[in-house]
Each structure stands twice: as C-alpha cells, then as structure tokens.
Amino acid sequence: MSKSNIEEINRNIYDIKNKDEYDFKIKKGLTPEIIKEISKQKNDPEWMKEFRLKALDVYNKLELPTWGPDLSELNMDDIATYVKPKTGLSNSWEDVPEDIKDTFDKLGIPEAEKTSLAGVGAQYDSEVVYHSMKEELIKQGVIYTDMETAVREYPDLVKEHFMKCVPVNDHKFVALHGAVWSGGSFVYVPKGVKVDIPLQSYFRLNSPESGQFEHTLIIVDEGASLHFIEGCSAPKYNKVNLHAGCVELYVKDNAYLRYSTIENWSKNMLNLNTKKAIVGKNAKMDWVSGSFGSKISMLYPMSILNGENSKTEFTGISFAGKGQNLDNGFKVVHNAPNTSSLVNAKSISKNGGTCTYRSLVRVNENAKNSKCSVSCESLMLDDISKSDTIPTSDIRTDEIEFSHEAKIGKISDKTIFYLMSRGISEEDAKAMIVRGFAYPISKELPVEYAVEMNNLINLELEGAIG
Amino acid sequence: MSENLLEIKDLYVNAEEKEILKGINLKINKGEIHVIMGPNGSGKSTTANAILNNPEYKKEKGKIIFGDEDITNLKTDEIARKGIFMSFQLPEEIPGVSVTNFLKYAKNKSTGKPVKIFEFREELKKYMEELNMNSKNMERSLNVGFSGGEKKKNEILQLLVLNPKLAILDETDSGLDVDAIKTVSKGIEMFKNDENGVLIITHNTKILSSLKADYVHVLVDGRIVKTGTQELAKEIEENGYSQYK
C-alpha cells in the first residue's frame, strides 16, 4: 500500500496573528531592575515585589534540568517576560478591543460562556482582559478573578497559598515564574459550595518572542466542589516563545476538583508548565489533560495525596507531529493511608514527532492500603515517529496494590483495509482509528473541547491532497 | 443495463511472493448466489481479497469487471463505494468507535448522503432484532470484546445496513454453531433480491443446508476445477476434495 502523505498543514484559527500592539513591553532579558519594573507596572504590594526578587535569585542559582528534552535553544535574554496588551480588564466583551475580541470569538470563548459556563476569564499576552461570573456564584461567596486583583483584594488567602504548593526552588522555570509571573486566575470556593457549571479561563499568547507566565491558584474549601477548565493557544512565529505557567490547586478535606485543560500552543512554543495539587482527607482531584501544540513540552501534573482516603485520577493525551517533542506525564505522592490513584495516559506521534510518558509514583511508608494503577498507551502513525515510556516508582510500603501497564502500537494495515472495505478512505480510516484511540480521553473533556480535540486530530491527519 | 454483476477474467494473484491464484474465471449475474468451496490454502480468501484489491495481494494478470466497469486496480474504498461488500473471516477490532457511529459514518461515505440519525437507529434496531443481537452492542466499540459469533453477526448487520450490490462472505459460517449459522443465513436471505448477488466462500457445506446456491465452484490449488449446482456441494461433503487434486 502506498503510504499516505500526512503533512503538517495550517492550524487556521490558532494561527491568526494580530498586529503586535501593546502598551508596554519589558526589555528582553532578566535583571533585578527588570523585575522591579514589572512589579511597578503591576502595582504589586511590597511583599510581592520582595517575593519576585527572591525568586530571581533562586532562578539565577538553579541549573537547567539535565534530563528530558534539550532546552539549549532557549536564551532567556531573548525572551520578553512581560507584555501588556493595549487594554484594561473588562467584564463585558463589548469593552474588549475589536482585534482581541475577534480572536476569542474565533476560538469560541464568548459563545461557550453563553451556553455552558458559569464564569469566564480571558488572558491576552500577559494580562487578563476579560472576567465575569454568574451572579448566583458571587452571592454564594465564590471568588473568581484575575490573579493581580486577588493579590490586592484577598491578600491573606493569597499569602497563605501562593507558591506554597509549588515552591520557587522546585525547578529553574518555577523560580523564573515566581519572578515574572503575570495574569492567571484565582478561584476560591467556600466550604460546602458546589459549583455545578464549569468555570473557564483561556490564555492566548499573541506577541512574538515573549513569555507567558500566568499563575493559577484554586482553593476548593472543605466539602466544596468545582470543575475548572483552562485552554491555551498561540499563533506561530519564527522565534521561540516560552510558556512557564504555574498551577496550584488546593483540594481541602471532602472537596472535589476537576481540572480540565487543552494546551494547544503554537509549534515553536516551549511549554514548561508546572501544575500541582494538594489533596485533603476524603477529597478527590481529577485531571483531564490534552497536550497538542508546542515544540517542546515538559508537563507533569502532580497530585499529593496528603489526606486519608484521598483519591486522584489522571486522564491525559499528547499528540506530537513533525518537530515536536512532548515529554509529558504525571506524578503522584501517596502520603496517607487508603489513598488511591488511577492514571490513563495516551500518546499519538506522527511525522517524526516524539512522545514520552514520564512519570513518578511515590508511596510513602504511611500510605498503607493504598492503590495505584497506571496504564499508558502509545500509537505511532509511521516508522519515523518515536514513543517512549519512562516510569519511576518509589514504593516504601508493602501494603499497597500497584500496577503499571504500557502498550506501544501502530495502526495495522489490516485494520485500514477493513475500514476501507466499508467505503471509508484511507485518510478517514486513519482519523477514525486515532479518534477512537483518543476517545477515552475526549469523552472526559467538556464537549466543546472534545470537539476542538477531534478537529485538531482531523487537522493533524488531513493529507496534502485537496 | 447488463445482467452481469461481476466478472473475473483469467486472474493471477500472488501473496507474499507466492503464486496463489492461477487463472481464475468467474461470472456472477444479478439475482445469483455463488459458492466457492475448496480445501485450506486453495486460494478462496485470496479471491475475496483480490476483488477488493487488498494491497497485500498482488495481481499479476487478469481483470475484474463490475457492471460495465474495470475495477481491477481501484482502491479498496472506491470498490466498496461501487457496491461490493466483504464479510471478514476475522473482523478487526476498533476501540473507541461505537457500532452505531461506525455504521453511520460508513453509510454516509458509501451513499454520499447524510444519514438521518433517528431513522438510522430504528433501522439498526430492527436488523439487530432479526439477527438475535443484543441491542446494547450498538454502543459498544466495534468488535471489541465481541465473541466469534457476535463478530460474524455484526458483519451481517453491516451488510444489511450498507446494502451493497454484491456481498462476498469470506468463511462467515466457520466457527459458528448451528443456531448462529441459521441466523447468518437468515440475514443473507433478508439481503438477497433479484438485483444483487452473493458470493459465499466456505470450506464446509453447513451453510448450504439453509441457503440455496445457484452455482457451486470447487477451487483447488488456485484454479476452479469444477462448477456445478448444489448437488456438487453434497458430493464434496461425502467424498472430500481428494479426487480434484
């Protein structure tokens, strides 16, 4: 059979580039002066300015990671860390400048807000440009705002939690994040409040050669529940862009948090995002994660099961095409008795793309009667693509159930022939197999994201023909 | 419009560099049921795969005409869309794609028309009842975890839904118990009319006890050595293939 030519094609809507217009763009590179300038621009309180400067010190002391994908092309002196779009924060789409609103329109954000969301935040470059939430949630005491506003208006909550779950010395890019963070979302759900409809934030990086360092801090208090959705995209420029966001999730006793995200960065983006959750007694943390774009991705969400009977589930998929190296995975620490974790990770690679599943399972001595089940499955669409699984487990008690299953496969010619014998073209047959492979993940995503994911798969698999 | 449905002319086919078919000639007219019988390795499945132009089988010589059209070198999906269906001996499993979604998609592709969801589901339910299939299977991933019998019935379900001009059934009866064979035969009877044709490939005669064939061909070592009526099948049941070797 002639191998069908699956070529990279335009990412249409994601690649709409708006003119690089901004109010203020920080000089490239990193010095204490630049950090002070960012802090001044952002109207930081004194403690935050000090925090940033300390983080810069840590950043300068730490080395780049010596494992994983090669990051040597990243020259921090070339990356502008703070880009302020030409607009303020608004709670009405009418007030958002036309070109920026147009971008979010094409991404379907305002439409989704009308139909299926309880609140929306939209970040453009470094600043949040839109934020709103349904009235009844405000009445129940739910806080959903941009991170800067939270620093100013809820200093106690922020100080108690900000970069406590992910400390600045975690790794070099977290330290960088601590120094230059900008934008992001803050959510607080009070005790016992169940937020039935999801909240969603969307991050869009437009400016070339800049970084996006949004900080997401979510606190779901005791007995409360929340579904939070995050989407990210950026158009493609020839220069490297950096995304080093940080997500800190606190799921208190008896609480539930579901955090869904699709990261669809442009294919020159280095996505070095850090996400961590601390899970309390009887609480549950669910991650649903799709990783599509970016040139290099190092993304390992982590659940720390600190409370007895706490649970976590991770459902994730990565899709790497030509020139992409997606090094993704999941980390879990079982740090209390009767805890459980369930991992279902999938990856698809094609056209020489590389997908690596890298994971860590740590079960501490006190985590008796815990369960951990990991399943990862990779699909390679041709002979030049790569797929690898690098699991690490550190288990310090005998009284646990642990299983790890890894499968690596290819689409067989027999399967394609079977589908073609039903009148389905070779390309459609491949897309059908891939969508089916991804289905256990896409069915966990909010419907518009599942549609987006299927569109992305089709887009990725469409041939050069026609 | 000619009465001729399928005509295979002097077909030579290699599989894995080995010559399997050595000059096959076969003509199927509308309204006819043909049976190809033969011992293991005689080239029965190769014939079916060659008609659908499976790239693993290489045609060295010969032609396949469908209606008035030469389909010898068309792609499998194009041949399928012309109206040829093949029921597989070992149907493939497609995780994450439900029977309903798969058939809806395939029907849309083969007819080129949009499929109305409600009517389609009703049609599907009706066929599944006729075939004694569990209607819960509609939402299951195609063939995943299906028993051998369920897979074969599922092939017949696809046949009924896609309603081709020519149905090729490759060893659909093998490995089935008597009841399942009856169900499969019933499905074939439901499909069959004066405008379409059926080519049954089998190595035993069980299916012929509940289905009447117009022609029986005996295939041995890549050649059709004898053609007859249903009587021929009976004779083979009694005496085997040894006399043709």
- 3-class secondary structure per residue, A185-201: EEEEECCCCECCCCEEE
Among A413, A428, A439, whose Cβ lies nearest the Cβ of B56? A413
Across the interface, do B162 and A433 touch by the CB < 8 Å criterion?
no
Asked if A171 and A282 touch (Cβ cutoff 8 Å), the reply is no
Residue partners of B89: CB distance under 8 A and separation at least 6: B45, B170, B171, B172, B174
Predicted local confidence at residue A197, as pLDDT:
83
Tokens of B23: 């000059």
Kindly tell me the burial class for residue A175, based on how many C-beta atoms sit within 10 Å of its own C-beta (0-12, 13-18, 19 or more): buried
Closest residue of chain A to B112, computed from CA coordinates = A423
Q: So what's the ipTM on this one?
A: 0.96
The end-to-end CA distance of chain B, in Å, is 39
Chain B CB contacts of A1 below 8 Å: 55-56
What structural domains and CATH numbers belong to chain B?
4-244 (3.40.50.300)
Decide if pLDDT at B140 tops 70. yes
Report the relative pairing of strands B197-202 and B166-170 from DSSP bridges.
parallel
Across the interface, do B85 and A440 touch by the CB < 8 Å criterion?
no
Q: How far is B97 from chain A (nearest CA, A)?
A: 5
Residue-wise pLDDT for B156-174, tens only, equals 999 999 999 999 999 888 8
CB of A454 within 8 Å of a chain B CB? The answer is no
Predicted local confidence at residue A7, as pLDDT:
37
DSSP string for residues in A199-227: EEEEEE--STTBEE--EEEEEE-TT-EEE
B107 vs A2 pLDDT, higher one: B107
Neighbours of A392 (CB within 10 A): 11
Bridge partners, A343 (sequence order) = A314, A374
Residues in chain A: 466
Across the interface, do B77 and A423 touch by the CB < 8 Å criterion?
yes
Q: How far is B206 from chain A (nearest CA, A)?
A: 26
CB of A437 within 8 Å of a chain B CB? The answer is yes
SS3 A423: coil
Chain B CB contacts of A439 below 8 Å: 95-97
Predicted local confidence at residue A88, as pLDDT:
62
CB of A277 within 8 Å of a chain B CB? The answer is no
| Alpha-carbon gap, residue A386 to A326, rounded angstroms | 10
CB of A417 within 8 Å of a chain B CB? The answer is yes
- % of chain B exceeding 90 in pLDDT: 73
| Alpha-carbon gap, residue A349 to A338, rounded angstroms | 36
Q: At B12, which helix (H) or strand (E)?
A: strand B4-15
| Alpha-carbon gap, residue A367 to A340, rounded angstroms | 10
Q: Buried (b) or exposed (e) across A59-78, using 16+ Cβ within 10 A?
A: beebeeeeebbeeeeeeeee
| Alpha-carbon gap, residue A199 to A219, rounded angstroms | 13
Residue segments in chain A with a per-residue pLDDT below the cut of 50: 1-13, 463-466
Predicted local confidence at residue A308, as pLDDT:
98
Report the relative pairing of strands A386-395 and A354-363 from DSSP bridges.
parallel
Among residues A39, A64, A66, A63, the alpha carbon closest in space to that of A53 is found at: A39
Residue partners of A459: CB distance under 8 A and separation at least 6: A9, A11, A12
Asked if B236 and B218 touch (Cβ cutoff 8 Å), the reply is yes
SS3 A3: coil
